[in-house]
Structure 1
Amino acid sequence: MGFVFFGVFGLLFKIILWPYILPAARKNTDNQIKARRLVASVWALFIRYLSITGVIAVRYHGFERLGRPGQLILVNHPSLLDVVFMLAKVPVLNCIVKNDLLRNPVMKSSILACGFLPNDESLQVVEDADAILRSGQSMLIFPEGTRTGWDNKICFNRGAVSIGLRSASVITPVVIVMNPPALKKYQPWYQVPKQKIHYDFYVGDDIDPQQWLQHKPLPIAARQLNQQLQEYFQQECSRRK
Structure 2
Amino acid sequence: MNRLLRPALALPLYALLAMLGVISLVWNFAAMLLYPLLPAEAGRALGRGVIAHAYRLFWASASLCGMMRIDASCLDALRNERGLIIVANHPTMLDALLLVARLPRSACIMKADLMRNVFLGAGARLARYIRNDSARTMVKLAVEDLKNGGQLVIFPEGTRTVTPPLNAFRPGITLIAKLAQSPIQTVFIDTDTPYLAKGWPLWRVPPLPIVFRLRLGQRFTPSQDSDALLKQLEQYFRQSMEQRTPDAQPACQTSRAPTLS
| Fold similarity call, TM over 0.5 | yes
1:44 paired to 2:56? yes
> In proportion to residue count, which structure has more helix?
1
Identical-residue share of aligned pairs (%): 27
Is residue 2:153 matched to residue 1:157?
no
Give the TM-score normalised by structure 2: 0.81
Deviations 1:7-53, CA, capped at 9 Å, x for gaps: 1221122233234322x52x522321112111211111111121122
Which residue of the other structure, out of 200, 204, 210, is the alignment partner of 1:187? 200
Per mean C-alpha deviation after superposition, the further-off stretch among 76-85 and 174-183 is 174-183
Amino acid in structure 2 at the alignment position of 1:173: T
Shift of 1:178: 0.8
C-alpha spacing 1:181/1:168, structure 2 compared with 1 (3 Å): farther
The residue correspondences of 1:113-152 to structure 2 (distance < 5 A) are 113-149=126-162, 151-152=164-165
Is the Cα contact below 8 Å between 2:79 and 2:102 reproduced in 1? Answer: no
Instruction: Decide which of 82, 87, 105 is 2:118's aligned counterpart.
Output: 105
Please state if 1:224 is matched with 2:236.
no
1:5 to 19, 33, 49: 19
Contact kept? 2:88, 2:187, Cα under 8 Å: yes
Distance in 1 between residues matched to 2:130 and 2:151, nearest whole Å: 13
Structure 1 runs of 4+ aligned residues shifted over 6 Å read: none
Q: Show the 5 A alignment for 1:65-76.
A: 65-76=78-89
Q: Unaligned regions of 5+ residues in structure 2, if any?
A: 1-13, 247-261
Q: Is the 8 A contact 1:177 1:240 kept in 2?
A: no
Q: 1:78 aligns with which of 91, 113, 117?
A: 91
Distance 1:75 1:20 in 2: 31
RMSD: 1.9
Q: Deviations over 1:148-174 (max 9, x none)?
A: 115333321111121112213311111
For residue 28 of structure 2, the aligned residue among 11, 14, 23 is 14
The 3 A distance-change label for structure 1 pair 108 and 49 is: same
- Larger-gyration structure (1/2): 2
**One-letter identity of the residue aligned with 2:238:** Q
Alignment check: 8 A CA contact 2:177 2:184 kept: yes
Question: Could you tell me which amino acid in structure 1 is paired with residue 188 of structure 2?
Answer: V
- Distance change >3 Å, CA 240–CA 37, structure 1 → 2: farther
Aligned to 2:106: 93
